[in-house]
Amino acid sequence: MNANAHIEAVFDETRRRNPAEPEFHQAVAEVLESLGPVFERHPEYAATGILERLCEPERQLIFRVPWVDDSGAVRVNRGFRVEFNSALGPYKGGLRFHPSVNLGIVKFLGFEQIFKNALTGMAIGGGKGGADFDPKGRSDGEIMRFCQSFMTELHRYLGEHTDVPAGDIGVGGREIGYLFGQYKRITNRYESGVLTGKPVGWGGSHVRTEATGYGAVFFAHEMLATRGLGFDGRRVVVSGSGNVAVYAVEKVHALGGRVVACSDSSGYLVDEAGIDLELLKEIKEVRRERIAAYTEARPGASFSARGTVYDVPCDIALPCATQNELAREDAVALVKNGVRAVAEGANMPCTPAAVQIFRDAGVLFGPGKAANAGGVATSALEMQQNAARDTWTFAQTEARLASIMREVHTQCRETATTYGGNGDDYVLGANASGFLRVAEAMTAQGVI
């Protein structure tokens, strides 16, 4: 069987065995479509069933999460942890608390995570988890009881050498604190390295909170530099207003760019003077309100509940909200308005049709598994500090993050050149490079 026929057959089988999981199919297709030239050169990977094994998680956990809300009513949610691949290290990946979470979403995220984590060059495997729990409007007490119930089941599968969760959408420092407390209580172990994204002061790493947003900006900076461009004086649009978006805005401003728009699920905000970061943080992180509140304090800004943030003309777009938020029409609008670079701060925010539009128009496009790898890379730095019972300074940690992102960028370009001839093909570079590192380790470890 030739390389493409083999890849096609694995994809068909994966779709057949995992029905009704469109996001998982999309994530698998996105990787597999890049691997033709890799399998041409490495037919041995077909012979040892690397792809068949990669597409099947090592372990999938689904569990009941019962909890009591503030009115005394019993609530039941569904919890997940997909331990996808441990060839390179303990399963590593975040937990997402959002009503849209289901097994297919967790599998898409876990699959992405394998290659992203491999790209960082660190010793971390791939996994992901979460629950269909909606934290919106929940009190601190409700969040705590939910986290405690979630960990009461999940703790038996975790460990600093086994599986190390962190945050994702709906899970930040507060939730990681409650989860860690419950893990410690049940196991009677102060096992710092069992969770990352802990607050600084009791095991958390400096820069972990900022890392995904900063990293995406570093990656975009590297892409722009290949064309002699930079952020200085550039108009930037960032979608979302969560942890990734907020720190992407901060770094763009530090590099001399101006973020003129951001969004949340209720609509988008335009502030031509540049997004006021302190105000945005106060609204989203302290008050936990919708972004429309921003215009009350900044009369020059406007909020729109219709259209999308991508209608706002910009030189650089950083989609930092959620999967499939940037559709074909958005890509067309961005290209029409002269966008030069797009770097994915979120996981799979651009639909395949949107990515194709960018590629056809020659827009620099950094796929999430490369561009947003800074978050998980800094989690791995947190694990290193925990293992050594050490704490690094902010500056030291940020320097490590910057050098990891530079290395990820170089690796993408070099691998893309080796396997496709065009260094600008970051999709090919990220997929092929992440795949090769995992495939080599899986081959060495035998058929397991």
CA–CA separation, 259 vs 253, rounded Å?
Answer: 7
Residue 183 CB, nearest approach to ligand GLU (Å): 15
Q: Considering beta carbons, is residue 349 or 375 the nearer one to ligand GLU?
A: 375
Residues in the chain: 448
Closest CA to 154 of 287, 229, 59, 240: 59
Tell me if 379 contacts ligand GLU by CB under 6 A: yes
Tell me the closest approach of the beta carbon of residue 92 to ligand GLU, in angstroms: 5
With contact defined as beta carbons under 8 Å apart, do 130 and 106 qualify? yes
Nearest-approach distance from CB 403 to ligand GLU, in angstroms: 18
Is the CB of 45 or the CB of 97 nearer to ligand GLU? 97
Q: Which residues in 203-241 are b (16+ Cβ under 10 Å) and which e?
A: bbbbbbbbbbbbbbbbbbbbbbeeeebebeebbbbbbbb
Size of the site for ligand GLU (CB under 6 A): 10
Stretch that binds ligand GLU, among 51-59, 74-82, 87-95, 290-298 (CB under 6 A): 87-95
23-31, 182-190, 299-307, 375-383 -> range binding ligand GLU (CB under 6 A): 375-383
* Strand, helix or coil for residue 101: coil
Contacts of 64 (CB under 8 A, 6+ apart): 76, 77, 78, 79, 153
Residue with smaller CB distance to ligand GLU, 214 or 303: 214
Rounded to whole angstroms, how far apart are CA atoms 387 and 419? 37
Q: Is 92 in the site for ligand GLU (CB under 6 A)?
A: yes
| Binding of ligand GLU by 209 (CB under 6 A) | no
Of the ranges 81-89, 91-99, 394-402, 417-425, which one interacts with ligand GLU (CB under 6 A)?
A: 91-99
Give the DSSP letter string of 25-46. Answer: HHHHHHHHTT-HHHHHH-THHH
Site string for ligand GLU, 144-183 (x = CB under 6 A): ----------------------x-x---------------
Strand locations in 352-426, DSSP E?
364-366
Using rule CB under 6 A, residue 135 touches ligand GLU:
no
Q: Which of residues 334-353 bind ligand GLU (CB under 6 A)?
A: 347
Residue 302 bridge partners (DSSP): 270
Q: What is the number of H-type helices and E-type strands within the chain?
A: 18, 12
- Interacting stretch for ligand GLU, rule CB under 6 A, among 92-100, 233-241, 304-312, 356-364? 92-100
Q: Which two tokens stand for residue 426?
A: 């970051």
Q: Please, what is the minimum distance in Å from the beta carbon of residue 277 to ligand GLU? A: 21
CB of 379 to ligand GLU, least distance (A): 3
Of 122 and 317, the one with the shorter C-beta distance to ligand GLU is 122
Task: Identify the residue among 94, 125, 129, 135 touching ligand GLU (CB under 6 A).
Answer: 94
Q: To the nearest whole angstrom, how small is the minimum distance from the Cβ of residue 366 to ligand GLU?
A: 14
Provide the strand spans (E) within 86-217. 91-97, 126-131, 163-167
Dihedral sign for Cα atoms in the order 212, 172, 388, 207: positive
Q: Which of 110, 203, 213, 375 binds ligand GLU (CB under 6 A)?
A: 375
If one asks whether residue 196 binds ligand GLU (CB under 6 A), the answer comes out as yes
Q: Are 350 and 292 in contact (CB under 8 A)?
A: no
Q: In 3-state terms, what secondary structure has residue 251?
A: helix
The encoded tokens of residue 428 equal 């090919």
By beta-carbon distance, which residue lies closest to ligand GLU? Answer: 94
CA-CA distance, 29 to 301, in Å (whole number)? 40
Helices (H), 337-372: 352-360, 368-371
List the one residue from 57, 89, 90, 93 that touches ligand GLU (CB under 6 A). Answer: 93
321, 376, 405, 439: residue in contact with ligand GLU (rule CB under 6 A): 376
Give residue 432's identity as a one-letter amino acid code.
A
128 among known catalytic residues:
yes
Residue (211 or 301) nearer to ligand GLU, CB: 211
- Measured CA to CA, the distance from residue 308 to residue 268 in angstroms comes to 7
Cβ proximity to ligand GLU, 214 vs 419, nearer residue: 214
Tokens of 66: 């019962």
Q: Which amino acid is at 239?
A: S
Alpha-carbon distance of 365 to 427, in angstroms, equals 8
Instruction: Pick between residue 105 and residue 376 the one whose CB is nearest to ligand GLU.
Output: 376
List 92, 107, 116, 128, catalytic entry: 128
Which lies closer to ligand GLU via its Cβ, residue 347 or residue 397? 347
Catalytic residues: 128
Binding site for ligand GLU (CB under 6 A): 92-94, 166, 168, 196, 347, 375-376, 379
